[in-house]
Structure 1
Amino acid sequence: MKLLEHLGTTTQEKVLALIADATKQDGIPPVAEHVLLHLRYGGDKAARHLIMESGEEVIGYAHIDLTDEIEGPSAELVIHPEHRNQKLGSQLLAEVTKIAGDRLRLWSHGDSVSAQKMAENKDLKRVRTVIQMRRSLNDPIADMNNSIEIRNFLNGIDNDEWIALNNRIFKDHPEQSSWSNRDLDIRIRENWFDEKGFLVATENGKMVAFCWTKTHGGHSHKHADHEETHAHDPIGEIYIMGVDPDFSGRGFGGAITIAGLQHMRYQGIFSAMLYVDSQNESALKLYRELGFTEWGRDVLYKISGS
């Protein structure tokens, strides 16, 4: 195995191809979106990359995040579908543990049965759960609150105000806090970005809430250069929704989310999804009221006793 601080172009392409193959097989990406964006664009200076190879092929990969000095390092692992059930995952995890130490935290996206068994065998405990929720957009969507001013995000005009609001709302969030213009810009450059699906609510000209939607699929594409072009039915995502804490309890969250759902329905999308922390009771309550139900879970594990 190789431990790298930076990935060269060839290795980067092989890792992205591995992730694409695993996503196609499992129906869910094995790494978080921010990790995938860093792999594509760079900028993840504190990360380490553990590469497992067979000949010229990358068959295993671990992304190790060393930035959180309080909670400890976190990692996300993937083994190529054609090389599973050979104890390679355990070998990869053992090497990650040597690097990260006994404070290691480990993400399981989708929390598969195999991941649960590995966690049990390695004496890992659950410390965080992120719930994926879904709803049909064929079912009735509540009417928009016309008393709340809602408009599209204006790229190049709203950027600084939106970043300040995002960081205020999510100041304690592990992934969403402390965003910079670069964090916003790399997402705006993604093929899925659409200003019309990035909605903001204002009061007296001040941005007080937002709902950023995202569309997965629905167009011909390929996940990696070695794949054939294909398409699948689109699904919309409430990518990020937030309300200024000073304006909470006044209906902005419900109104801006309904606006996002209606936007996606107008685009001909028939299913919507979102992710929410299991301990965010107010958000869970809102989403359930809007017709969302649980679909799956991402679980963060930690070595017991650490």
Structure 2
Amino acid sequence: MQTSENTSGEGRVERVEALTEGQAGAVRELLAAAAGADGREAVSEAGRLRIRPDSPRAGVRHLVQSAGGAVVGYAQVEGERPGTVELTVAPAERGRGLGGALVREVLAGADGGLDFWAHGGLPAARHLAEAHGAVLVRELRQMRRTAAAPDAVPLPAGVELRTFEPGRDEAAWLALNALAFAHHPEQGAWTERDLAERIAEPWFDPKGFFLAERDGRLVGFHWTKTQPDGLGEVYVVGADPAEQGNGLGRALTAVGLRHLILERGLPTVMLYVDADNAAAVRVYERLGFDVHEVDLMYRWAPSGPR
């Protein structure tokens, strides 16, 4: 554990690889308060799953900022060269330099480049990134659709549909996910543990996890999710690149939307898509999705200001 302290009122920061039970609870409370104030999560689903004192993740560092005996800021750094950073400050404590101090602590511990997420593109987060010379490198769009269910789309000839079976389909799904998202920095790197953690979550429902098979081999999937606030989500849609252009992705997307809207009764459905994935953006726009908000990623280089 490393600890640093700023005597100008900017808090004490502990850098740890495993949170204690008390720290994890305080961090979760902080994130809940930030989400309530900002209308969005400051740390992604993957990052929130890392806040588990009983099962720390290799390569994940936690920076816990405290002042006056309370946790007032939190940052999580995962990986390296570049590492990925998510952070937030307690809403009641903003405006007195805590965010800047926390960013400086993150930079002080960096031995390579860092990618900072600004979820929702909040002005304060953008300002912090730009103040340290970070440049915008990625835009992740959240798109939403509130409408009737789309018409069913026929599956390609020879493809059959079923739902995910825990204990049977994990290995095949992980292999196809890696193949379908070989270009994707997060999704394509999922491990057995990543999948098991989602299956263990209260929201997981195998009835909403659709698999497409050709001759008994998995060739596509649409995993749906029901958010705690009642939104449906196109959690992830993927297909074997060999199936590209035959309409499988469009058919799977329709299957999932119809499930969320007709079977789960969720008229509003959301999804995430990278802005530079023009083909996917066009598909979703034709289905009636519009941009709701954006998450921005800023890259900081070691040569930049600390």
Q: What amino acid is aligned across from residue 141 of structure 1 in structure 2?
A: P
Preserved CA contact (<8 Å) 1:108 1:299: yes
Indicate the residue corresponding to 2:64 in structure 1: 51
Match of 1:7 among 9, 14, 19: 19
1:302 equivalent in alignment to 2:299: yes
Give the share of equivalent positions with the same residue, in percent. 37
TM-score normalised per structure 1:
0.89
Indicate the residue corresponding to 2:219 in structure 1: 208
| TM-fit CA distance, 1:154 | 1.2
Q: What amino acid is aligned across from residue 124 of structure 2 in structure 1?
A: S
Match of 1:42 among 55, 69, 80: 55
Number of equivalenced pairs: 287
Q: Stretches of 4+ moved more than 6 A in 1?
A: none
Q: What amino acid is aligned across from residue 221 of structure 2 in structure 1?
A: F
Preserved CA contact (<8 Å) 2:155 2:248: no
Preserved CA contact (<8 Å) 1:150 1:256: no
Change (3 A) 1:198 1:4: same
Match of 2:176 among 157, 161, 165: 165
Indicate the residue corresponding to 1:259 in structure 2: 255
Indicate the residue corresponding to 1:249 in structure 2: 245
Question: 1: CA distance between counterparts of 2:120 and 2:231?
Answer: 17
SS of the aligned residue for 1:30 comes to coil
Indicate the residue corresponding to 2:3 in structure 1: none
Indicate the residue corresponding to 2:197 in structure 1: 186
In structure 2, runs of 5+ residues without a counterpart are 1-12
Match of 1:84 among 90, 94, 98: 94
Indicate the residue corresponding to 2:289 in structure 1: 292
| TM-fit CA distance, 1:102 | 6.2
TM-score normalised per structure 2:
0.89
Match of 2:148 among 136, 139, 148: 139
| TM-fit CA distance, 1:214 | 0.5
Preserved CA contact (<8 Å) 2:149 2:258: no
**Structure 1 residues 32-88: Cα deviation after superposition (integer angstroms, max 9, x where no partner):** 1111112136342111111111233211001012x243xx22211110111111111
**Structure 1 residues 95-121: Cα deviation after superposition (integer angstroms, max 9, x where no partner):** 111111562221101111222233333
Q: What amino acid is aligned across from residue 53 of structure 1 in structure 2?
A: S
Match of 1:73 among 77, 83, 95: 83
SS of the aligned residue for 1:39 comes to coil
Question: 2: CA distance between counterparts of 1:186 and 1:60?
Answer: 25
Indicate the residue corresponding to 1:222 in structure 2: none
In structure 1, runs of 5+ residues without a counterpart are 218-231
Change (3 A) 1:167 1:43: farther
Preserved CA contact (<8 Å) 1:198 1:211: yes
Q: What amino acid is aligned across from residue 295 of structure 1 in structure 2?
A: H
1:27 equivalent in alignment to 2:24: no
Match of 2:273 among 251, 276, 284: 276
Preserved CA contact (<8 Å) 1:134 1:272: yes
